[in-house]
């Protein structure tokens, strides 16, 4: 009896999880189903009522929503500066300034796998801008200045940014939150 209840609980959990995952088509239709796995350039998805996996590239859908163990995330297909084609990026914050995170998977020369993380911001009326990366970069000052330009129409937050501390991800996130709430 306990075994049957355990199986029933597992099935209900999987059904609830699948119902909260979806893709958004280029025509703005929402299709519910289950995200099996994804990288920055592909998502494997099983539509509700089907058993077939469908592969989607960022040029084929607008976005998808996936439920992970501890959080739910929204990924959007976006053409990023310096990239040849659109990629799926995680939307971390929404508002007047949107914060995106791109996690790229790299296969190193020795066969090892590593991940690079880059953060981008977009103001509704401006182009998307890279502001921070975990990869080796020699243009930190340029990214810091580009971020300040986005904040200039809010002198209080711009001053908070200029007088703030280290250009860390947490600091950037707090500045965007302050800007979006003002």
Residue pLDDT, tens place only, 103-147? 887 777 787 777 789 999 999 878 899 998 877 666 778 888 889
Q: 83 in a domain, yes or no?
A: no
Kindly report, residue by residue over 153-174, the tens digit of the pLDDT. Answer: 999 999 999 998 788 889 999 9
- What the block records as the tokens of 142 is 């340029």
Do 126 and 172 belong to one domain? yes
Do 59 and 99 belong to one domain? no
Q: 158 in a domain, yes or no?
A: yes
Of 78, 112, 145, which closes a domain? Answer: 78
CATH number at residue 68: 2.30.30
Full domain range(s) for residue 124: 92-103+120-182
CB neighbour class for 64 (10 Å; exposed up to 12, middle 13-18, buried from 19)? buried
pTM above 0.85, yes or no: no
């Amino acid at each position: 009896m306990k075994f049957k209840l355990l199986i029933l609980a597992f099935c209900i959990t999987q059904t609830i999880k699948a119902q909260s995952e979806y893709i958004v088509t280029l025509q703005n239709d929402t299709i519910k189903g289950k995200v099996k796995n994804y990288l920055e350039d592909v998502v494997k998805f099983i539509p509700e009522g089907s058993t077939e996996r469908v592969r989607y590239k960022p040029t084929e859908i607008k976005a998808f929503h996936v439920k992970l163990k501890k959080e739910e995330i929204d990924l959007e297909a976006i053409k990023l500066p310096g990239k040849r084609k659109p990629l799926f990026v995680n939307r971390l914050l929404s508002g007047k300034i949107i914060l995106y995170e791109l996690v790229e998977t790299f296969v190193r020369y020795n066969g090892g796998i590593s991940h690079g993380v880059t953060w981008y911001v977009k103001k509704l009326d401006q182009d998307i801008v890279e502001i921070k990366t975990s990869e080796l970069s020699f243009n930190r000052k340029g990214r810091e200045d580009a971020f300040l330009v986005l904040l200039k129409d809010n002198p209080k937050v711009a001053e908070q940014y200029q007088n703030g501390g280290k250009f860390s991800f947490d600091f950037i996130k707090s500045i965007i939150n302050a800007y979006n709430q003002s």
